[in-house]
Amino acid sequence: MLETILGVFFEYFWLFGLASGVYYYLILREPSPAQEPNGHESEDGLYLRRFAIGMCLPWAVMGAGQLLGYTTLRHYFRPQDLNPFVLAFLAVVFAEICVFAWWVLFAGGAEKIRDLNMLVISVTGQPDRPIKSLTAIKLFAAMGVLFFLMCIYLMVVMNIPISK
């Protein structure tokens, strides 16, 4: 029974990623449509939609690889095999992290994050404790790039076997 449940979980893990992107979009959007009186979309609604698309895109790539039969969940822990779907998944994640870091560090994104309270803290139910420090926001964004590279290195070093 447990083996069956885990098998379904691992086979459709990408669906859980997609579902979490949709879930966060639904709980963060405003109760009313994100429209200003003049009919233009509000700024936070625009960022929220971009966040939702960015959160779902890597999982869609993973799902394509699994549905087409080229990958299983374990393949995504072995970038050294150069599977095109694994590389595409990692490239999408890395590109999103780099674009986010660039936006935060060089294009005024840190101020937008602070002013619109777009941090994960508001998602986890602590909106009364927003991070106001621009330095902390910029540090988190820059560390994301380094953390991702460290994860890739660790996946290669672990050399997880894939059952045939």
d(CA 82, CA 95): 18
164 domain-assigned: no
Residue 59 lies in a domain: yes
What's the predicted TM-score (pTM) here? 0.80
**Residue 163, in any domain of the structure:** no
What distance in Å separates the CA atoms of residue 157 and residue 141, rounded to the nearest whole number? Answer: 25
Provide the token pair at 77.
Answer: 């822990």
Task: Give the domain range for residue 39.
Answer: 2-158
Residues contacting 128, CB < 8 A, separation 6+: none
Q: H or E stretch including 10?
A: helix 2-11
Whether 121 maps to a domain, the answer reads yes
> Collapsing DSSP states into helix, strand and coil, what is residue 41?
strand
The tally of domains found in the chain comes to: 1
Give tens-digit pLDDT for 128-159: 555 678 888 899 899 999 999 999 999 999 98
Q: Supply 119's token pair.
A: 């941090």
